Structure 1
Amino acid sequence: MTSRLRKFKEAAFGYGFLLPSLAGFSVFLFYPFLKSFYLSLHSMNPRGQIVEFVGFDNFIDILTSDHFYQSLKTTFFFALLTIPACIFIAVCLALLTYKKNKINLIFQLIFASTIAVPIGNASVIWKLLFHPTAGMFNYFLSLFGISPVGWLTNPAYALLSVSMMTVWISIGFTYLLLLSGIKGIPEDLYESAKIDGAGSFSIVRRITLPLLSPVLFFISVISVISALQSFSQINILTEGGPVNSTNVVVYDLYQEAFVNYRFGTGSAQAIILFLIILLFTIIQFRLSERKVHYS
């Protein structure tokens, strides 16, 4: 009896530490999710009042809509433009600046500085850079005799332009994670490889990247989730345009719920997006985790 009582007290003590986090998750995560699922099963008026129960009709309307699949295609293309580029650039920068010296410390500060810039502020700055007449990008193009580009007004360039800004704002966090991972690799491994005659490229390919695989795996998972949930930069830079060329799923969801006041359909779209992200996360764990070296 005494042993059971002691185990109960230890469990209660542990759950006591978890209680604040569980309360936060319940208020800001679990309840909104359950509420969204409840609203997705109903038709609502513009004032947000439930009109009638419609079951899965909202889901059927979305899954049979060409507009939804177009926004989904745009979202996936946006993820392909941003995630590989961000990881590749961050890996290169981390490999070039991981050694301890004064010059590298300055570069580390510069490369990691984007983590301190709010995405809203960054979007406003880049919107000025993309300006068709007063923007710096078109000014530099004019120096080489190249005609101005409609970075945010031309459907051929809009998504690429938003992706450039997203890569820039994401590099700081990705760079810091990779830099920490590289610094955690024992120097003895590098010294042994050099004694055996291994070159720089061979060391990176056979030692650095395999030992960085846990960090790369973590970055890939959170990057996919972040890319599929991108909204702020789309809203500020293009508002889903031009001609829906940057209308990703989250922005389309926002338009559906808070502009068209179709809260039931918007909630159903949010649930579908959650399931898509969950599916991609599971696939990443199944396919990539086996290639991760934890020691």
Structure 2
Amino acid sequence: MPEKYTSQSEYLPLDQVLVMPVAEAFQDRSKIEAEWEKLNYLELPDLPLALAEYQDFMSLLRKSGAEIFSFAKGDSLTLDAVYCRDASIVTDQGVILCRMGKEQRQGEPLIQEKVFETLDIPILGRIEAPGTLEGGDVAWLDRQTLAVGRSYRTNSNGIEQLTGMMRAIGVDVITVALPHFRGPSDVFHLMSILSPLDRDLAAVYSPLMPIAFRNILLERGYQLVEVPESEFDSLGCNILATGPRQCVMAEGNPITEAALRKEGCTVSTYTGNEVSVKGGGGPTCLTRPLRRRI
């Protein structure tokens, strides 16, 4: 990859991104009715409202100037495929295909692999059984450092495999042991409590963050925007950076939004009740960034 681009950042200006359109993931009301409870959604999503919300989200993504590609629907995919970050990790040397910790989602990496092939993006590796790893548990702290949450979706074996792949390309891995919280059925990833927004700024939900990892962020010079408890379930800590201090987040988080603006962030919001809150996937979950401009 030319040096003017990198895949190893969460905050540099977004240049290329993949999405799974909600129309392809949700498809129709019968599919939603058949799957939402089994997938542990909070409530039955309303398809027309979800489509409208997603259209608004996509308009914000387009305003970033990023080139947008789409994954195709597949018979093995569930509603959760809309949260396309989880099935892969992108590095400057290629893609690592994940092995999903949520059993119903294990068909997603294969579907994504086909799209990466059409885009001539090489496959660097893949997580094999018994390892599990989901992209929502992975966040770049800088271009040489990757934080990985050990959770109910990402196990120690998966992290060991990832660490070996990262070591081979000169990247250090920091493992973050996540708490039990609401248990195995809940959607709880590292990026549920961490969103890097600039080289020295991150939104965090400290009550669920290990002290050792929080101290690592502080030692690295991060200023932390603390998301309040009242805005955790409304995805106040799941924020997509489309550029340094350029943020997209679900609406309904006014305290966090005001705190971000105080730190010089430009914040755009979308209504995300149907497409984000009910399924537990905010704007970072709805995107698989491919590369960012240096």
Q: Give the structure-1-normalised TM-score.
A: 0.22
Q: Give the structure-2-normalised TM-score.
A: 0.22
Relative to total residues, which structure has the larger helix share, 1 or 2? 1
Larger radius of gyration: 1
